[in-house]
Amino acid sequence: MKDSIFKIEEGVFFMRHTDLDRNLPILLFIHGLGESGLCFKEAFESPDMRNFTLIVPDMLGYGRSTEASDCDYCMNAQIRRLWKLVNGLGRESFFIIGHSLGGDLGSLMIASDTQQRIQGLVNIEGDLTPNDIFISNKIVSASKDEDFLKWFETKFKEELVLNGWGNKWASCRRYYASLQFARPDAVLSNAREIYQKSQPLPDRKVSLSGLTYAGLKIPKVFCWGSESLSNETLGFLEAFSLEHRKFEPAFHWPMIDQPQQFYPFLANYINTSIKGLISGVIKDG
């Protein structure tokens, strides 16, 4: 694993990566709410990932990247910055592996990808229904209290994540480590938008986030942990005939809780998708 910094107008990305080999399939990993690229550490250790170029940035406001100079952490702003990063690295086509908020951002990036540069999406517990947003719900609810920063530091990070979830799941103890570097204003901004986009649409039982993901016309798969996903979201996946894969036992971070299951699956899925894309081009030709 190597690391670099990449400057854009609004700040500086910190990025973990392999050699930027143009001859290998490119995987852009996007972390979740309050997270950092640390959640994908096992990608660099897995022998199944050796034949891919891995790009794992910390988004602005998270991890070891700087704050955003314009103080804008909305999803569209984060997406614009990710495009600047990809373009600056000279990457043409690539796959997205997005966890939680990263899955939501991946869906929105693909929906706005007019040049069809994104070849596929592996969505790891992104937000498809209102039942998915258990972290964002807690953050948005607590933000109505004038002591939000105190709640964020004590009740959320210490009591819930470290001493609660962290007692059972190593993934949550690593999440706690990433949270030490996350800007509360970035987390709150993204949590509010996740909450809004995950509410049922008028006269519908589905959310904007769920419909956006379901409507993507590229190879995609939804990955989930056996101890995390709600029955309602599983029902949504089945109702829309969306490909999905369970990892067990695993919480909200299956790529950390079950890396020996997840990364071989990821490598096989990407390789199969590439063969399908090539086959489609040949048939169209």
The pLDDT tens digits of the residues spanning 64-111 come to 999 999 999 999 999 999 999 999 999 889 999 999 999 999 999 999
**Do the beta carbons of residue 236 and residue 206 sit within 8 Å?**
yes
pLDDT in tens, 51-63: 999 999 999 999 9
Each residue of 160-188: b (16+ CB within 10 Å) or e? bbbeebbeebebbebbbebbebbbbebbb
For 202, list phi and psi in degrees, rounded to 5: -55, 130
Q: Round to whole Å and give the CA distance between 59 and 22.
A: 23
Q: Which domains does the chain have, with CATH numbers?
A: 2-284 (3.40.50.1820)
CA nearest to 86, candidates 18, 39, 20, 24: 20
pLDDT band at 205 (very low <50, low <70, confident <90, very high): confident
**Do the beta carbons of residue 187 and residue 139 sit within 8 Å?**
yes
pLDDT in tens, 137-162: 999 999 997 799 999 999 999 999 99
Q: What is the pLDDT of residue 112?
A: 87
Q: Round to whole Å and give the CA distance between 162 and 58.
A: 21
pLDDT in tens, 7-55: 999 999 999 999 999 899 999 999 999 999 999 999 999 999 999 999 9
Locate 69 and state its tokens: 């100079």
**Do the beta carbons of residue 235 and residue 258 sit within 8 Å?**
no
